[in-house]
Amino acid sequence: MLMNQNTSPSATEIPSVLTVLNEKTWQKFDFARDAKGQLCYPTDPKAVKFCLFGAIERVCGGDNAKITQVMHKAREHPKFALYGVTCLNDMACDWNTLEKLIKEAGI
């Protein structure tokens, strides 16, 4: 979990993206889709599939400050720094590789 340094820890915990992202909920190219396969916002309660960035937006509740915090944390990992979140998700990874990178980056 990431913590926002500007407020108390209990109010600012950001869950790992792995709380919503797994092999069955992960997808490439689109931020989020509902159970019918329709595009939707990652914060929509009907969203069931996510790309990595969509999962980040979901666990952050759409809060831009929290999203930025997670993205900065991700970029501390050399692969995320080199390729970026969306490129790794959409072109450079299979699920097992992406899951390993997420764990290594602590996001």
What is the residue type of 95? W
- Gap between the Cα atoms of 8 and 85, Å rounded: 28
Q: How far is CA 71 from CA 37, 65, 91, 99, in A?
A: 26, 10, 18, 16
Instruction: Let me know: does 56 contact 95? Beta carbons within 8 Å.
Output: no
What pLDDT, in 10s, does the model give residues 14-53?
999 999 999 999 999 999 999 999 999 999 999 999 999 9
Q: What is the pTM of this model?
A: 0.86
SS3 of residue 47 by DSSP: strand
